[in-house]
Amino acid sequence: MERPDVRVHGPRALPAEAHARLLARPEVRHHSLAGLPTDRSTTSYLRQFTESDYLAAQPGLEGQFRPARALDAAGAGLLVGTDSWLAGYAYADELELFVRAGLTPARVLRMATLDAARYFGEGADWGVVAAGRRADLVLLDGDPLLDIRNARRVRAVILKGRLFRHDDLAARVAALPGGPPKTP
């Protein structure tokens, strides 16, 4: 089924400090930086940008937030997703962006769970924790309804009935190419 796609993206042209923080994220070590401007002075489409230009671009994000708020207010179906080069790691970024856009954490979490299941025709099986439903769960150390950033505080994951504790997941990630995570 063909469905319209309206995307809310984080700023692509970050000020130098924010760009450096992005490249310093521990999960970056698991991804190729090919095609990502690490030295913006050598990237043709960014070469002429000054730090003032990057700072001036930041209010443009509000221009992406307005349609998201309007679509939500009109009852349009919205989903959380990412086409970021950081893949699954960027999912929490997307949750935070929708909250920054003005949606409530409860609304954003519903978009990421039940609404996604319904979109893919799986609403009878997935999307809520209830008897008779299939459930992959992410268990958190904080309440994302109080602060959406708590979605990053993963204690454990239950996947296909198997429990993966944080320490187990961290060990698996540390074993990936790129060495152990760097501590900030």
User: Do the beta carbons of residue 42 and residue 132 sit within 8 Å?
Assistant: no
User: Do the beta carbons of residue 19 and residue 28 sit within 8 Å?
Assistant: no
The torsion angles phi and psi of 126, rounded to 5 degrees, stand at -125, 170
d(CA 55, CA 72): 28
Q: Please report the beta strands in the chain, taking only residues with DSSP state E, as ranges in sequence order.
A: 137-140, 154-159, 162-165
Mean pLDDT for each 10-residue chunk of the chain (184 residues)?
52 64 72 61 71 72 83 90 68 89 96 91 88 88 97 92 91 74 49
Give the pLDDT score at 177: 73
Give the pLDDT score at 172: 84
Inter-axis angle of helices 91-100 and 105-112, nearest 10: 140
Q: Strand 154-159 to strand 137-140: parallel, antiparallel, or no bridges (unpaired)? A: antiparallel
d(CA 136, CA 129): 9
Per-domain residue ranges of the chain: 16-174
Give the pLDDT score at 99: 95
Give the pLDDT score at 39: 66
d(CA 54, CA 16): 8
CB-based contacts of 12, cutoff 8 Å, min separation 6: none
Give the pLDDT score at 162: 92
N-to-C CA span, the chain: 44
Using DSSP's 3-state secondary structure scheme, residue 121 falls into coil
Q: How many CB atoms lie within 10 A of CB 95?
A: 24
What's the pTM? Answer: 0.74
Give the pLDDT score at 184: 44
